[in-house]
Amino acid sequence: MLKISLLGSDNNSEPKSLDDGSKSLSESRSSITSESVRPEEEANGLSIMQTLIHLLKCNIGTGLLGLPLAMKNAGLLVGPFSLLAIGILTVHCMVILLNCAHRLSQRLQKTFVNYGEAMMYSLETCPNTWLRTHSVWGRYTVSFLLIITQLGFCSVYFMFMADNLQQMVEEAYVTSNTCRPRKILVLTPTLDIRFYMLAILPFLILLVFIQNLRVLSVFSTLASITTLWSMALIFEYIVQEIPDPRNLPLMASWKTFLLFFGTAIFTFEGVGMVLSLRNQMKHPQQFSFVLYLGMSLVIILYTCLGTLGYMKFGSNTQASITLNLPNCWLYQSVKLMYSIGIFFTYALQFHVPAEIIIPVVISQASESWVLFADLSVRTALVCLTCVSAILIPRLDLVISLVGSVSSSALALIIPPLLELITFYPEDMSCVTIAKDIMISILGLLGCVFGTYQALYELIQPSNYSIANSTAVYA
């Protein structure tokens, strides 16, 4: 999912400021170098196929596995159409972001501007004096939201790995070679899921200590292979013997639809990397074709997996579709492979907030304490994501909460506002202004009500331990 980084620097390099850290943020979402492409380096840029692969990798993660439950929260008819609409709006906002960055690059005669810079530079040229004076906060806001989003992803990864590890361990003695559908929940976990989170913690701390980009790229490749194989097996299972869907509700309640909104936005994780990917192409003018093709494939994948998964498992759909897979060795291996992929991806997702926060901390430390400060911050951030997962061990609600709080702002709220600020001096049409305002309002409403509903569900008495007990044949 996450894809490039600027880390790879040794301890002798000068620490970056928060501004520089935020610059690395959007650039950290690709498996390639983060350096801006200069004309003489264009020949070494990404081809159309390479860019397409990176774009697909950026958008396929744990959120995808939660889409069947999202469809349950929206309804069999409303869910697919709503997901399609959110996907189209998200892609449109990506295009807006690209257009704004391109126009600002032309104005400022810069080769490349990232998400945070685009927000800052646009505010510098807006008519309002107060906004011009405080334009740097545009970059800080984008950086903060990306930090929250990435740490939220990492917290979700903790829960995802713990959920699947718990199910594999608890069912090991009844796992068979015959793959049959799960029918009822009969096993109560002998170990609390928080124990599995704590068991994973030391390994993830050691993993994030790795700062070499070549090693991280190897992990990214391993994650991609395991994810692809797992996804193929999941689809192979859910398309078989689908029950009659006429008993499933076409539309769910508005309260659960708000949870659907957060989950759907969470799954579209590629907004922060589109600028960097375009900058890395041999022929950046072809990126629009790649974006439309890649995101069309992503939306089709999301819709098919979410709809077929809900039709397959119905009211028994769990927070991750892997938890619904049969209790046999083949599909236990799917959980293991996907968990391994998520484990490796954790380091890549973690790299984004680390690249912003660590330089600020080590800039305050003496040279002899730089390494200690670096490793301490990494350890603290990993522990923070673990504590968050322990305090809120609800995979579905955390996905919805992260999506509603930060992903909606980055994907739907900020890009239209950025277009208004960037192009308003150039006599925008009333239709464009109205469209941007409507998209931002829609994103804001989804953010506010989605966050409220997720928090409301979190504070309610929960039967989580029952819902997550493992399902086998009685």
Asked if residue 337 belongs to a domain, the reply is: yes
Give the Cα separation of 377 and 356 in Å (integer): 11
Give the Cα separation of 412 and 54 in Å (integer): 22
Asked if residue 39 belongs to a domain, the reply is: no
Which residues are 176's β-sheet partners? 328
Asked if residue 2 belongs to a domain, the reply is: no
CATH no. for residue 146? 1.20.1740.10
Nearest to 299 by CA among 1, 31, 81, 48: 81
Asked if residue 30 belongs to a domain, the reply is: no
Report the domain count for the chain: 1
Asked if residue 72 belongs to a domain, the reply is: yes
Residue 368 confidence (pLDDT): 85
Residue 353 confidence (pLDDT): 84
Give the Cα separation of 115 and 354 in Å (integer): 18
Residue 395 confidence (pLDDT): 72
Average pLDDT along the chain, 474 residues, taken 10 residues at a time = 38 41 41 38 68 78 83 90 92 91 86 85 84 87 86 86 84 69 57 86 90 69 80 88 85 85 82 78 86 91 91 85 80 83 81 83 86 91 91 78 84 91 83 92 89 81 44 37
Residue 192 confidence (pLDDT): 80
Asked if residue 465 belongs to a domain, the reply is: no
Domain around 386: 48-458
Asked if residue 431 belongs to a domain, the reply is: yes
Asked if residue 468 belongs to a domain, the reply is: no
